Amino acid sequence: MSSTHAKKTVFLDRDGTLIIDKIYLNDPDQIVYLPGVFEALGRLRDAGYQFIMVTNQSGIARGIVTLENLDEIHRRIRAAFAEHGIEFRAIYYAPYAVDSNHPLRKPAPGMLLKGAEECEADLKSSWMIGDRLSDVVAGHRAGCRSILLTGVEEPDPSAAAESQPEFIVDTLTQAVDKILTVS
């Protein structure tokens, strides 16, 4: 990939980052967007970022979520953001069990690396935003900076550097403020 074409990218977790985490969402009619997500991504779009969603979906391995419903959920999410002029270049999901250690399942960086290759992302100028430490670690392992949304997990100050986010914020809007301030 030539660096002249590489794009600054924001990798986004799904549940708890873009939509309310319903724990194994299987009903497309239960999608509820978090406040301000459309406006926040619109600001990043206007600043030249592209978007890739990366989501662990162990509910598939557990038999709680069907692939058909997952596809419909992602179709509806794409459509809702498209109504606001926001495109997801790609949506990747890891349908593997929590204990699988699959290279695509966060905290492994597989989905981000795949997105970087397929969507020409410049990882050094990119960000990972999510509500779990596995998001932070996946971002760092892929070579991105990471932002942790509060509410689910907190970093342990004595833990490895890869699990220390660059920023900890309460909302996606605040995450965007940070990105636009340091970019």
Query: What amino acid positions are annotated as catalytic residues?
Result: 13, 15
Q: How crowded is residue 94: how many other Cβ atoms within 10 Å of its Cβ?
A: 21
Q: What are the CA-CA distances from residue 183 to residues 65, 177, 180 (Å)?
A: 38, 10, 5
| E strand or H helix that includes residue 172 | helix 172-182
- Listed in sequence order, the DSSP H helices in 28-144 are 37-46, 58-61, 67-82, 110-119, 133-142
Q: Residues near 115 by Cβ (< 8 Å), separated by ≥ 6?
A: 9, 11, 52, 54, 89, 90, 92, 121
> Before 28, cis peptide (omega within 30)?
no
Q: Are strands 127-130 and 88-94 parallel, antiparallel or unpaired?
A: unpaired
**Beta bridge pairs of residue 121:** 7
Any residues with CB less than 8 A from the CB of 168 and at least 6 apart, and which? 147, 148, 150, 154, 155
